[in-house]
Amino acid sequence: MNIKDNQGNTPLSNAVRSKYIEHLDVILKHNSTTSINKKYDEGKTLLHIAVLDEIIVD
């Protein structure tokens, strides 16, 4: 699910930035090709952004 919108964001990046925990859970559980290593703001990956924003998905 690496489809990008017109700003280059994927569903995963949009979910992280919007803090949509339910969407994150679904995307991560059902899509093994989703890239979490792409760098976004100031060279941060989505994992960096999630940790800094204290986003936790079980």
Q: Which amino acid is at 28?
A: L
> Does residue 32 register a pLDDT over 70?
no
Query: What would the pLDDT profile of 4-17 be if each residue is shown by its tens digit?
Result: 889 888 888 888 88
* Cβ neighbour number for residue 10 with a 10 Å cutoff: 19
Q: Is residue 18 part of a domain?
A: yes
Overall domain count for the chain: 1
Structural domain contains residue 39:
yes
Residue 36: predicted pLDDT: 73
41 found inside a domain: yes
Ordered alpha helix ranges (H), the chain: 11-18, 21-30, 46-52
Alpha-carbon gap, residue 8 to 26, rounded angstroms: 21
Q: What is the pTM of this model?
A: 0.65
Task: Report if residue 58 sits inside a domain.
Answer: no
In a domain, 57, yes or no: no
Is the pLDDT at 23 greater than 70? The verdict is yes
| Range of the structural domain that residue 43 is part of | 11-52
Flag whether 1 is in a domain. Answer: no
According to the model, what pLDDT value does residue 16 have?
86
Residue 2, in any domain of the structure: no
